[in-house]
Amino acid sequence: MNLKLRKLAAAFMLTGTAAGAYAGALPESQTANDWYQTGNELVEQKAMQARNLNTAKNVILFVGDGMGVSTLTAARILEGQLQGETGEENFLSFETFPNTALVKTYNTDQQTPDSAGTMTAMMTGVKNRAGMLNLGPMAERGECDQVSGNELTTALTLAERKGKATGVVSTARITHATPAATYSVSPDRDWEDDSKLPEASNCVDIAQQLVNYSEGNGIEVVLGGGLRHFKPNTDGGRRTDGQDLTQVWLDNANGETREFVSNVTELNNLDVANTDKVMGLFTSSHMSYEEDRDGDVEPSLAEMTETAIDLLKKDEQGFFLTVEAGRIDHGHHAGNAYRALTDTHALAKAVQAAVDNTSRDDTLIIVTADHSHVFTIAGYPKRGNPILGKVVDVNDTIATGSDNLPYTTVGYMNGPGFAELATGGDDRYQQAVHTDGRVDLTNINTEGQGFHQESLVPRSSETHAGEDITIHAMGPGSHLFSGVIEQNEVFHVINEAADLGGEQY
């Protein structure tokens, strides 16, 4: 036990409340055990943590899209194993945060949710139907005439009205469901540009809403993918209205210093001190998986997070920032655990960057998911067995099923199923669904990036799952996260902690 912990333990012994106060009743074989001592020290640390009752000047909401409990477990083990450890004892950066809760994720019309409905709940305090952005549950998907009277106001909008700076960062298209739920109102999450709108529609597409967002003094930071939804179809985009919305955004500066960046060099060279707003769209569609990212072209999630914080913290009123690791979800949909887990590592690095560049005294940091995936950890592998490997038991025997074929520790309830591809990224969607049952994996490297795990039910895309996900928080108001909560409570904690004024007017 280090000196600091010894002092904490001594203070607790004086009050008779230390975790080890009654250690004398236990045998030395128990109290001298490393597990016992480590556990005792952790409890002592937590017991000394007081509730932070300050008002949160800043709020950062991290969303790992599709980052369910099994994803967290496998990602922490893989991260530890990549560092040369057995893996199980590892913690991802945010797993050491002092406050946690379980979150129920269902939509009002689905047991297993989608990202539009779940992010709407977190951003507005109201659960709604799947597929819709920031509309109450009485509205129906795809019906423009039901927008009026059913609109919901987001935490980002409240922050703008409060005079705070705001930002949206994602490795997905910035018009995709999760980031779009911070700033847009749409009866269909798929209306990312005008080409998707119904004929004679009075609805406004999501990209147009972002560019014309006018609450407060507008969103200061927009970083992610999805350039195609801002460019006309005559210039590599998908818009049919002929507009280049990136230029429209620049032209709307009204005396502000605005910068549009398209690669990591331009982002790194940004003069943050003299820039009021920045938009960065680095890819036509989603940004690359972390494993495939060209660091000379695309910034990492951590780099985008650091830049966003540097620009936003110039505002004396504070800021509200949402950061999404969107491609965790896509890795799972493709049945490629390697990419889902390594993108989770990228999220953990971005969270650490936020912790390092803010103060826990005035910044509420929340890390959660929108939903889970049908991703499983099974069998009886020995401790330290490669999490992406085949199951090897404590007797160093490769485990087999009743069909005498080996199987992997991680797999999927449904999805495209087995594949062994050169890269293992989006090219999985170009392959036929594996429908021929089990595969003999004896001579196949299941730990490689191109391996796609077997699935029970063949589907072109693996599905979301409906079980609870986790939330991890630190900073002012983080103690309000405890127990099992409804997903819409996330908004209410943010509103309360940051005093956003989300009351009836």
Check if the beta carbon of residue 68 is closer than 8 Å to that of residue 105.
no
Mean pLDDT of the chain: 93
Say if residue 374 is exposed, middle or buried (CB neighbours under 10 Å; 0-12, 13-18, 19+).
buried
Give the pLDDT of residue 160. Answer: 98
CATH 3.40.720.10 maps onto the chain at 58-373+472-498
Mean pLDDT, residues 113-137 taken together: 97
Q: Tell me the C-alpha distance between 216 and 320, whole Å.
A: 13
Question: What was the pLDDT predicted at 69?
Answer: 98
* Confidence at residue 11, expressed as pLDDT on a 0 to 100 scale: 42
3-state secondary structure (DSSP) of residue 3? helix
Residue pLDDT, tens place only, 18-31: 445 455 688 888 88
Closest listed residue to residue 43, CA positions, set 20, 10, 13: 20
Q: Among the residues of 269-335, which ranges form H helices? A: 301-312, 327-333
402 is catalytic: no
Domain 58-373+472-498 matching CATH 3.40.1110.10: the answer reads no
Residue in 29, 70, 93, 115 annotated catalytic: 115
Does residue 505 surpass a pLDDT of 60? Answer: no
Confidence check: pLDDT of 5 > 70: no
Cβ proximity of 117 and 488 under 8 Å = no
Mean pLDDT of 211-216: 97
pLDDT tens for 231-286 read 999 999 999 999 999 999 999 999 999 999 999 999 999 999 999 999 999 999 99
Pairwise CA distance, residues 150 & 169, whole Å = 27
Look at residue 334 in the predicted model and tell me its pLDDT: 94
**DSSP code string of 236-288:** TS-BSS---HHHHHHHT-TT--EEEE-SHHHHHT--GGG-SEEEEE-SSSSPP
Q: Grade residue 12 by pLDDT with cuts at 50, 70 and 90.
A: very low
Q: Which residues, at least 6 apart from 39, have a Cβ–Cβ distance to it below 8 Å?
A: 19
Residue 120: pLDDT band with limits 50, 70, 90: very high
Host H or E run for residue 224: strand 221-225
User: What type of residue is 231?
Assistant: K
